[in-house]
Chain A
Amino acid sequence: MRKVIRKLFWAWDFDKEEKWLNEMASKGLALCAVGFCRYEFEQCKPGEYAVCLQMLENKPQHAESEKYIEFVEETGAEHVGSYLTWVYFRKKKEDGPFELLSDYASRIKHLSRIMKLLGVIGVFNLMAGCYNLFLYGIWGHAISLLGMINIVLAAFLGYGIYRLWKKCEKLKKEQQVFE
């Protein structure tokens, strides 16, 4: 029997998302499909699977991503689904520990990739916000409300980037000493 849970995780909380998916797996619910704020689970033996997720450079249908997904699958993992550029894998725990990134350099690269994307969307919203606000005057026009929404969204993304940046700095500090 399948179970659908609707839940929202921000992109900068992907590690919390992964932790939650692993907790579900340890309770006997293995992830089997994903969508927008939507997680579909099937029953498994408690602790049968470990789950990992990652944001790729391109969409999952892109040739580069397909090559990557195939490579990960060859190591014994199962691609359970994708949402935007995020891919989700699960692997039987009896086949050993499951991680997608095992060194500081590749973890930092992954965080930078998420920051870059959020940055692009953030800057776009900031510019659209300024344009909408100043072109139509600060008050008295519906477009200026849209402008304010753009600015608030940009600020929120800025907060997300800050959170990721903090994670990144922590890893970079470790990288000064360890590999």
Chain B
Amino acid sequence: MPGAALTEAVYYILLSLIEPMHGYGIMQNVERLSTGRVRLAAGTLYGAISTLLEKGWITALDGDSDSRKKEYQITPRGKEMLLGEISRLQELLQNGRAIMKEDAK
């Protein structure tokens, strides 16, 4: 579906992976970004990472030998999707603010 919304989890994972990060790092970063609102559970995060790797939106980095944990990073395709989502969110927000005017500041 063109123009389909990304899930909140995928959006925040992509946003986190602008910098290389491992799984637990993503969980902590998403929690920090959303000031504790979004807590990705390990199983859900693992599923999302597998799908994003499959789609080629993120890539696994070759870990150095002394670090067991695998790090991931966003790809150019992933950045494209992220930018698309940001403009979609912009549209939602603009419409919401314009119509709800005083109520939603």
Beta-carbon contact of B43 and A101 below 8 Å: yes
In residues 82-118 of chain A, which contact B (Cβ within 8 Å)? 96-97, 99-103, 105-106, 109-110
- Set of chain A residues within 8 Å of B46, measured between Cβ atoms: 68, 71-72
The interface size bin for chain B is 10 to 19
In residues 9-52 of chain B, which contact A (Cβ within 8 Å)? 9, 22-24, 27, 39-44, 46-47
Majority SS at the chain A contact face:
loop
In residues 63-82 of chain A, which contact B (Cβ within 8 Å)? 68, 71-72, 74-77
- Set of chain A residues within 8 Å of B69, measured between Cβ atoms: 74
| Residue A54 lies at the interface, judged by CB distance under 8 Å to chain B | yes
Docked complex Cα distance between A100 and B46 (Å): 10
- Set of chain A residues within 8 Å of B41, measured between Cβ atoms: 99-102, 106
- Set of chain B residues within 8 Å of A74, measured between Cβ atoms: 22-24, 68-69
| Residue A179 lies at the interface, judged by CB distance under 8 Å to chain B | yes
The interface size bin for chain A is 20 to 34
Docked complex Cα distance between A4 and B87 (Å): 56
Beta-carbon contact of A76 and B7 below 8 Å: no
- Set of chain A residues within 8 Å of B9, measured between Cβ atoms: 102-103
Beta-carbon contact of B44 and A103 below 8 Å: yes
In chain B, what residue has the closest Cβ to A67? B46
Docked complex Cα distance between A159 and B95 (Å): 48
| Residue B8 lies at the interface, judged by CB distance under 8 Å to chain A | yes
- Set of chain A residues within 8 Å of B42, measured between Cβ atoms: 71-72, 75, 77, 100
- Set of chain B residues within 8 Å of A97, measured between Cβ atoms: 39
- Set of chain A residues within 8 Å of B40, measured between Cβ atoms: 102
- Set of chain B residues within 8 Å of A110, measured between Cβ atoms: 43
Given contacts A71-B46, A75-B23, A76-B24, contact A103 B39 (CB under 8 A): no
Beta-carbon contact of A109 and B47 below 8 Å: yes
Docked complex Cα distance between A100 and B43 (Å): 5
A-B CB proximity, top 4 nearest: A102-B41, A100-B43, A99-B41, A106-B44
Task: List, sorted by A's number, 16 A–B pairs whose CB atoms are closer than 8 Å.
Answer: A54-B43, A68-B43, A71-B42, A74-B23, A75-B23, A75-B27, A76-B24, A77-B42, A99-B41, A100-B41, A101-B44, A105-B7, A106-B44, A106-B47, A109-B47, A179-B8
Chain A residues with CB under 8 Å of chain B are: 54, 68, 71-72, 74-77, 96-97, 99-103, 105-106, 109-110, 179
